[in-house]
A and B are shown apart, each in its own frame.
Chain A
Amino acid sequence: MDGITPDLIILQLFTGLALGAIYVLLALGMSLLFGMLTVVNFAHGAFYMLGAYIGIVLLGIGLNFWMCLLFVPLVVGSLGLLAERFLIRPLYGRGIDYPLLLTFGLSYMMVECVRIVFGTQGLPFDTPELLQGASDIGIGYFPTYRLFVIGVAAMVLVLLWLFLERTPYGLIIRAGARDPQIVRILGIDVGRVWLVVFGIGTGLAALAGLLAAPLQGASPEMGNSILAEAFVVTVVGGMGSLVGAVIAGLLVGVVVSMTSLFQPEMAQVSIFALMAVVLLIRPQGFFGRAGLMS
């Protein structure tokens, strides 16, 4: 273990947090969709990928990266609204597997459409100029962009929390998650609430994709492998739990970056080993309610 200093470990910890921030955004969206709509979105990876590509399109028509941060989630979230309204809505009440299967087919189509429009090869995605280089974080230099990713994720978390806990609309969403029947009896159109939630969830996935693009470029398949990782995060954190998504996301990010420091070839496997351990000890995940899933 030559050359591994405490500083290096701390830097790697930050790298893990940046990676974890992306997982958090993905898993938050996924948990929202599951907690509120009981939809497991297999197209979540595809919406993530779409985020990166819509980012490329918007940059191409002259918007800057900062505007993209706002508009990419809006554009992709609107596509999510369409998907919910026309494809998923007819399936409510028909068993939990059907939305899952449908979104799987949808992801197939989305990936192929992106291949048709943008080609099968991946595209590069430049880090915005202001965020290039490294900043001093006290113990060493750390890529500015990764710090930025952590910051954006933290900000989104705060906004989402404020929205869900402090606004009347958030109250309706939380009530709808607990008991849609009662909410409907109180005269609220639950269908519309679900529509909005689906838009938020897919918008979050798109934001994660946009943030990940400068780190790894954009490719039609980028959503495929991250989908499994996002599943691990939601399973470890407990499905439907937003706090769980945040903690598990960061934990998985740190575990990946730490194993890639000490045992690079085990990095991908470590995520799944972590999940196996959690499943053995606590099948419902950190913050999952037992019996919720049956």
Chain B
Amino acid sequence: MLPAEFVARCKRHRVVLSVVFLLIFPLVMPFKAIAVNILIYGLFALGFNLLFGTLGLLSFGHAALFGGGAYACGIAIVHYGAPWWLGIFAGLLGGMLIAAIIGALAIRTRGIYFAMVTLALAQCVYFVAYQASDFTGGENGLRGIDVRDINLFGLHINFVDPLNRYYVVAAFVAAALFVLSRILASPFGAVLEAVRENEARARACGYDVRATRFVAFVISGGFCGLAGALQALHLSIVPIETLYYQTSGLVVMMALLGGMGTFFGPFIGAGVFLLLENLVSLWTVHWQLVVGAAFVACVLFFPRGIWGTILLGRAK
């Protein structure tokens, strides 16, 4: 457990702290590719965490939001020749659009239903993308998202260079962190927590619980779509597996490992997960067993996750 005063100070400057960390991070990481992955999945987990950690809605369909963003970005670039920034914008919108569609249906259900319905709807998106192979490349994934050079108001950045790539992605992540921090600090953020803590009371106070959930789901879709778009640019291909339910599970694991409902938790979770995956796969191909066991242990013994446990100590 950390002293409360220190925690409070960190909380006030959380965005600045994150940006400083993002700047230093690649210099201490031996593998730049993993650093970029950690950023992208961290952002993905951030979007998920807004829903589960802050609002208390467990979605098992976030692959559709992440993959939807990736496909929207890829399709804009491959089929319509959009520049990179438009691709990222398309990803953001794509994630929000799919979130709006899934959200409109899934919000009608509550509690445990929500996890099942989001999972089923996300599988539906997967099958649709699988069938629409003219547009999405079907089974082979969407290929040819070739962005080598990023033109920023006349300033050319070589996107192939790993360090440049990292900083481009980090810039978007920093912006997303700032936006999220503002959302959480806003009255809307307070309503999200109120709905999580006591739905009946929030409703009695005059808040429209269903609309709150819907808006939060769409915002979450924006973050996840942005992460997906960055992933598409990073990999220069969108594999169909991006949409599969395993991806949804991945982000649930990351968010829980890091610490649900904490600001830095999602990034720590994504980092620990990906590093664990990389280290374990050095000596066995069956890394899923180790990661699964770590996750089960985390649910059983550290339900607050790594960062949550550091902040608050172990739960009862």
Contacts and interface: CB of A to CB of B under 8 A. Distances in A.
Asked if chains A and B come from one complex, the reply is yes
Interface string A104-127: 111111011101100000000000
A227 B249 CA distance: 13
Given A96-B112, A272-B120, A102 B128 contact: no
Contacts of A97: 58, 112, 115
A40 B116 contact: yes
Contact of A100 (B58, B245, B296, B300): B58
Contacts of A90: 300
B116 A116 contact: no
B50 interface: no
B110 A231 contact: no
Contact of A275 (B117, B131, B292): B117
A181 interface: no
A5 interface: no
Interface in B248-271: 249, 252-253, 256
B127 A268 contact: yes
B299 A91 contact: yes
A234 B112 contact: no
Contacts of B110: 293-294
Given A293-B109, A293-B112, A276 B292 contact: no
A260 to B, nearest CB: 13
A243 to B, nearest CB: 18
Contacts of A280: 105, 108
B286 interface: yes
A235 B303 contact: no
Nearest to A232: B120
Contact of A87 (B109, B115, B300): B300
A234 B111 contact: no
B147 interface: no
B166 interface: no
B226 interface: no
A98 interface: yes
Interface string B282-302: 000010110111011001100
Nearest to A120: B285
Given A91-B300, A105-B299, A108-B288, A235 B293 contact: no
Given A115-B286, A228-B120, A272-B120, A109 B58 contact: no
Task: Identify the interface centre among B109, B199, B293: most chain A CB within 10 Å of its CB.
Answer: B109
B292 A293 contact: no
A61 interface: no
A68 B293 CA distance: 30
Interface SS of A by simple majority: helix
- Contact count band on A: 35 or more
Given A269-B124, A269-B128, A294-B111, A235 B289 contact: no
A255 B112 CA distance: 25
A35 B119 CA distance: 20
Contacts of A228: 119-120, 123, 245
B113 interface: yes
A108 B111 contact: no
Nearest to A99: B299
A115 B131 CA distance: 28
A266 to B, nearest CB: 8
24 contacts: A91-B299, A91-B300, A97-B58, A100-B115, A101-B58, A102-B296, A104-B252, A105-B253, A105-B295, A105-B299, A108-B249, A109-B292, A113-B289, A115-B286, A228-B245, A239-B112, A266-B131, A269-B124, A272-B120, A276-B124, A279-B108, A283-B108, A293-B110, A293-B112
Q: Which 4 A-B pairs have the closest CB atoms?
A: A108-B292, A272-B124, A105-B295, A109-B292
Interface of A: 34, 38, 40, 87, 90-91, 94, 96-98, 100-102, 104-109, 111-113, 115-116, 224-225, 227-228, 231-232, 234-235, 239, 265-266, 268-269, 271-273, 275-276, 279-280, 283, 293-294
